[in-house]
């Protein structure tokens, strides 16, 4: 079976991305920033939530700057329904990847996506590329385009 990084590379091959395998884990935003030599805010955290609509539970991917915290109230305002954090099983089912390696794009099926507006302050951001040691750089505007995401205020400093 292919690794998460291999599946990500195959799923995004036509985009011409350049994933980089780091010698150490990039599981957290500070670790990733130290590994690639950028500000913590330029690290994209791909966080999965669940939108609650009656009996329906729909995954929601939030792309959040590494120096911000996703805010459940802001997420709920952005989608117009209550939102809760997803568990590890839901994350894997929704994205095909494990927590710590969830990329913003390259999922087996489209996932509704919101993009933290503060990511747009950077010319280049770094995201997970399928596992806890692989990352790739991208223009944040391109991430919005590739993910089909909508930019919104979904996070607060911290």
Reported as a single tens digit per residue, the pLDDT across 118-135 is 999 999 999 999 999 999
The rounded distance, in Å, linking the Cα atoms of 84 and 79 is: 12
Question: 99 vs 15, 123, 128, 132, 137, CA distance in Å?
Answer: 23, 26, 10, 8, 19
The mean pLDDT value of the chain amounts to 95
Query: DSSP assignment, residue 54?
Result: T
- pTM tops 0.85, yes or no: yes
Reported as a single tens digit per residue, the pLDDT across 8-55 is 999 998 998 889 998 888 889 999 999 999 999 999 999 999 999 999
Structure tokens that stand for 89 in this block: 């099983």
The rounded distance, in Å, linking the Cα atoms of 126 and 137 is: 4
Tokens 């391109």 belong to: 142
Q: 3-class SS at 155?
A: strand
pLDDT over 70 percentage in the chain: 100
| End-to-end C-alpha distance for the chain, whole angstroms | 38
Structure tokens that stand for 16 in this block: 């011409």
Structure tokens that stand for 51 in this block: 């939108």
Q: Alpha helix locations (H) across the chain?
A: 4-11, 29-36, 72-79, 88-95, 140-147
Domains of the chain, with CATH numbers? 4-13+26-157 (3.90.960.10)
């Amino acid at each position: 079976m292919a690794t998460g990084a291999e599946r990500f590379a195959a799923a995004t091959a036509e985009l011409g991305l350049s994933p980089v395998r780091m010698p150490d884990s990039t599981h957290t935003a500070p670790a990733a920033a130290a590994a690639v030599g950028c500000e913590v805010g330029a690290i994209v955290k791909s966080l999965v939530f669940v939108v609650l609509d009656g009996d329906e539970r729909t995954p929601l991917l939030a792309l959040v700057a590494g120096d911000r915290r996703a805010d459940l109230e802001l997420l709920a305002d952005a989608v117009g329904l209550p939102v809760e954090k997803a568990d590890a099983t839901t994350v894997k089912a929704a994205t095909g990847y494990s927590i710590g390696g969830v990329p913003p794009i390259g999922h087996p099926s489209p996932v509704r996506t919101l993009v933290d507006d503060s990511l747009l302050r950077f010319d280049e951001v770094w995201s997970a590329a399928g596992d806890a040691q692989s990352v790739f750089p991208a223009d944040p505007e391109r991430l919005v385009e590739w993910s089909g995401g909508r930019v919104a205020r979904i996070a607060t400093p911290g």
